[in-house]
Amino acid sequence: MEYEGYVDIHSHIIPGVDDGSQSFEESIDMLNIAYEQGVRTMYATPHYGSGKEKYDRELLLDRFEKLKEKALDVGEEGIELILGNEVYYHHDTVELLDKKEIFTMGGSRYVLMEFAYGISYNELYRSLQRVVNAGYVPILAHIERYYCLYRKFSEIASLRDMGIGLQINADSVIAKLSSEASFCRKLIRNGYIHFLASDCHRVGWRPPVMKDGYSALEKKTPQEYLDRLMKVNPDILRNNRFL
């Protein structure tokens, strides 16, 4: 299978709709960084329901379409943008998904989701199961941030067995001496994780460091495995197949 580059499935690249990019200029600067980092496809996943978003739907769609066009001119090959949301789970999330109020990942069955970081494991499991039962496949964003999952390999395996996607942020694997980074690298090496993504917000705040994440993992992780995180699994998502 041939791939054009990395796929970044988590970004706050649309300007002025959440706590991510604040202008078209900043979005273009971020896209240029992403391009240099090897990204050729990026999912724009503005926050939904976390209280940080200020946009209305029309404004969001309008800015997305404009940026999507500009992204094609970035670098020699351009970056393809695909729309999604990062949904902060609430009891009405499934209803909003069914009404298509929330954008799934490129219109697929996949939904990028986040929760309160202090959530209990049981509540997290039950909420994800509810979304699965409704016919969607949640991708749990930055799983390294949840206290109930920190160093809990069997709990993480149970989530994986539910059939959902698990995502780690690229910048979380980079720091050499951090115990969080070594926990993340261990999870990846042992096959728990489906996606490495940037969760980029601003040029100066968590920029899209996909290549840097790849390099931090390269030494101890087989190439085939890294491709799975940044190319193969995103391709499965895109084709709406199961992980």
Residue numbers at the binding site for Fe ion (CB under 5 A):
86, 199
Q: How far is the CB of 220 from Fe ion (least distance, A)?
A: 27
Q: Which is nearer to Fe ion, 29 or 53 (CB)?
A: 53
Q: Which is nearer to Fe ion, 79 or 112 (CB)?
A: 112
Q: How far apart, in whole angstroms, are the C-alpha atoms of residue 80 and residue 73?
A: 10
Residue nearest to Fe ion (CB): 199
Q: How far apart, in whole angstroms, are the C-alpha atoms of residue 49 and residue 53?
A: 7
Q: How far is the CB of 85 from Fe ion (least distance, A)?
A: 10
CB proximity list for 95: less than 8 A, separation 6 or greater: none
Q: How far is the CB of 237 from Fe ion (least distance, A)?
A: 16
Q: How far apart, in whole angstroms, are the C-alpha atoms of residue 143 and residue 197?
A: 12
SS (HEC) of 119-187: CCHHHHHHHHHHHHHCCCEEEECCHHHCHHHCCCHHHHHHHHHCCCEEEEEHHHHCCCCCHHHHHHHHH
Q: Which is nearer to Fe ion, 8 or 86 (CB)?
A: 86
Q: How far is the CB of 35 from Fe ion (least distance, A)?
A: 20
Q: Which is nearer to Fe ion, 86 or 171 (CB)?
A: 86
Q: How far is the CB of 177 from Fe ion (least distance, A)?
A: 25
* Closest alpha carbon to 226 in 153, 175, 173, 176: 173
Q: How far is the CB of 14 from Fe ion (least distance, A)?
A: 12
DSSP state of 229: I
Longest Cα–Cα distance in the chain = 47
**Cβ neighbours, 10 Å, residue 20:** 26
Q: Which is nearer to Fe ion, 96 or 225 (CB)?
A: 96
* Closest alpha carbon to 144 in 33, 10, 21, 27: 10
Q: Which is nearer to Fe ion, 86 or 144 (CB)?
A: 86
